[in-house]
Structure 1
């Protein structure tokens, strides 16, 4: 069975990719994922706050006794808040790139174009096959416009793409006013692909303790429909690679995204729930699905049900929304 696919210009042995998670910080786990059939692995994200924190420590050592940047330091949490050692991250990239038979993708998570470029350069030098930019920005300031948010994202993409020679993908959220247009702008800015979508942090309010508390829930299958919609709409129209992310639990979910037109399908939550051995379950399940239909390569089914590939794309559009509402009322 030929599961080969191309993503960001790289040839992958399968379309199932292990996206960033704490599991991917261990070389033995990365090897298990590769043995299970993963097409690539994305390492845990380095956060912009961590980059600034490490730089701040270096500055303190170099400029000990000066107060020339004291006001700027007040913008950041205490040093203990962001434990980070770039040598550990770069060491993992270097070891994984040498020992894994699949591409190793580094990840950076942040909001501005400052502090990313040096780290991206170092990651490329360490052997990363590509870099995934996770542009995570919550515009909580009501004076910040949608155009400002888009420009901020594109500034990051342009800065990193101008710095490294390896391909760059961009993981974005679904809340742009025109997601398809924004994805095209990202490709124009130099990226080779997009990852759809980021899941933004949503805090919980504790009515007893009267506090706002962190809350992270693993994704579930019902969250697939939003990214699947935009994967299907963008398939064949983007001019770059499309990675589908969110809600992948089993092989049928992988198939759904591929039918919509994804080049690769990323999973985190399922691997956290079931362990890295679940990668083999997903890949073998995909092989079984293809074999049951007499198909021996992915190209025969990828994008089969994309918006631009079906005779009646009504299922992706407003007409289907109206039908769904009316059918519910009749029921």
Structure 2
């Protein structure tokens, strides 16, 4: 079976790419991911806050006033909770490129147009094959119109594209009033790829300590439904590469995403739960399914179940809503 695919212009041996996670924080686990069959790896994210503030300055900002307003400020992370050190990040990225035989994609997380964007260029110089721009932004200002939010995303993309020559993918959340419009705008603005979707980590409350607590809950295959729908809709609508993330756990999840139009599928929770070797079993499952259903290549499968390809395109829109409710027993 021919599992090769193209993502961001990169020729990959298969469509499984580990997304940014703790597994990309050391070379040993990255090598294990490669040995298990990963086609490329997305580095853990370098945050805007890491670049904009020196560790001591960040410590000052986060510690200032905590004795007076301890309950109110206790949800802020301490400096030790950040992956401090943008220069160390760049050095590690360089080491990863020297040690691995697969593409390494740098990840940068920010939303402003500050000096942190220069680190995208430094990632390129360190050897990154591409950059994933992870825009984690929750607009809470009620005076901020949706158009302004969209403009900010496009502005950041433009700034990063001006800084580098390598491909740039944008990792997005689904929380837009017109997601298709945003996707087309970013495509036209030069995004080489769209990664659907960023999963906002929701805070929790400790009822005993009366503190807001960060809490990571690993995703399940149920989370694939949202990116599956939107990749199916966007396939053929945009020229840019499409990556599916959120809930990719099994061979079936991978196959479904490819069939609706994804160029690659990104895994995180499944690898944190089962380890790097899980990639091997998923690839074996994909191969087995393709043999049983007489598919010769991933390219043959790609987009065959997109909205533009299915008999009833409305199945990805409102029409299925009543059917789903009526069939539930």
- TM-score (norm: length of structure 1): 0.90
Shift of 1:185: 0.9
- Residue 269 (1) aligns with residue 269 (2): yes
Distance 1:52 1:10, change over 3 A: same
- Residue 221 (1) aligns with residue 191 (2): no
Whether contact under 8 Å (2:246, 2:267) holds in the other structure is: yes
The correspondence of residues 271-290 of structure 1 with structure 2, limited to 5 A, is: 271-290=271-290
Shift of 1:123: 0.2
Distance 1:166 1:325, change over 3 A: same
- TM-score (norm: length of structure 2): 0.90
- Tell me the secondary structure at the aligned position of residue 224 of structure 1: helix
- 1:73 corresponds in structure 2 to none
Greater shift in the superposed pair: 160-169 or 277-286: 277-286
Whether contact under 8 Å (1:49, 1:82) holds in the other structure is: no
Greater shift in the superposed pair: 13-22 or 181-190: 181-190
Whether contact under 8 Å (2:55, 2:79) holds in the other structure is: no
CA–CA separation in structure 1 for the residues paired with 2:315 and 2:297: 26
Whether contact under 8 Å (2:40, 2:104) holds in the other structure is: yes
Whether contact under 8 Å (2:19, 2:266) holds in the other structure is: yes
- 1:240 corresponds in structure 2 to 240
CA–CA separation in structure 2 for the residues paired with 1:294 and 1:323: 31
Distance 1:211 1:2, change over 3 A: same
Structure 2 alignment gaps of length 5 or more? 61-75
- 1:15 corresponds in structure 2 to 15
CA–CA separation in structure 2 for the residues paired with 1:31 and 1:146: 42
- 2:322 corresponds in structure 1 to 322
Task: Number of aligned residue pairs: give it.
Answer: 313
CA–CA separation in structure 2 for the residues paired with 1:83 and 1:4: 34
Greater shift in the superposed pair: 269-278 or 95-104: 95-104
Whether contact under 8 Å (2:197, 2:246) holds in the other structure is: yes
Structure 1 alignment gaps of length 5 or more? 61-75
Shift of 1:225: 0.5
Distance 1:81 1:285, change over 3 A: closer
Shift of 1:275: 0.8
